[in-house]
Homo-oligomer: A and B are copies of this chain.
Amino acid sequence: MMMWERTTEGKGAASMALRHAVLAALLVGDGSGGDGGYSGYQLAKAFDIGVANFWHALPQQLYAELTKLEKEGLVAGRQVVQETRPNKRLFRVTEAGLAELAAFTAAPSKPSFIRDDLMVKVQAADSVDTGPLIEQLEERASVAEAKIELFGKLLRKMRGELDEEEFLRRGDRIGPYLTCLRGLALERENREWGLRVAAVLRARGPVRAER
């Protein structure tokens, strides 16, 4: 039997993946945000930095998910009337939401999944023109560089005046710090790999008579 025939085995596990990412992200805004909660809009921004390290979603999806979560009582929203800006709804995680997150955390994780156009292109590098590929690899390396700096700043900000060891021992809210560390490591690898592959392909020159 091969791997895709896991019939009748992971039965009641209920995927609905985005929701847990939303709940986890919302926890951060809850309290530190000052006014207790994130709006959909703010959540979208929080996703862009930080959460983007392990989850990607467009704002439309977040709004939709927030609506569903509210209907199920996992988050509670309250209207905030603003004069200078359009009104907004601030959401915070409810007890039920926290319970849902706890259950999710206790359940087995599905293997992480990655999807990367550039890697597909590198896989085919022996059969196609490498010119544009080299450009994209170097572009990616420089994007990674920028993220590395951004994450460095974020980490410094999160740990405040404590050093890392100290913060991880005694800080509160270390979750986002730990995921950010992973993002940092990832981007470093991204940069190294991009530069290395670009160099290798450059050194080989144009692809020789294929097929």
Contacts and interface: CB of A to CB of B under 8 A. Distances in A.
B101 A124 contact: yes
Interface in A43-61: 44, 48, 51, 53-56, 58-60
Contacts of A69: none
Number of copies of this protein chain within its complex: 2
A64 B66 CA distance: 34
Interface in A137-176: 140, 168-169, 172-176
A81 interface: no
A186 interface: yes
A175 B2 contact: no
A123 B179 contact: yes
B118 A109 contact: yes
B4 A127 contact: no
Interface string A57-75: 0111000000000000000
Contacts of A140: 109
Nearest to A123: B24
30 contacts: A4-B59, A20-B117, A20-B120, A21-B120, A24-B121, A54-B116, A54-B119, A55-B114, A56-B111, A101-B128, A104-B120, A104-B121, A105-B124, A105-B129, A105-B132, A105-B133, A108-B136, A109-B140, A112-B116, A113-B115, A114-B115, A119-B179, A123-B175, A124-B175, A125-B174, A125-B175, A125-B178, A126-B173, A181-B196, A186-B189
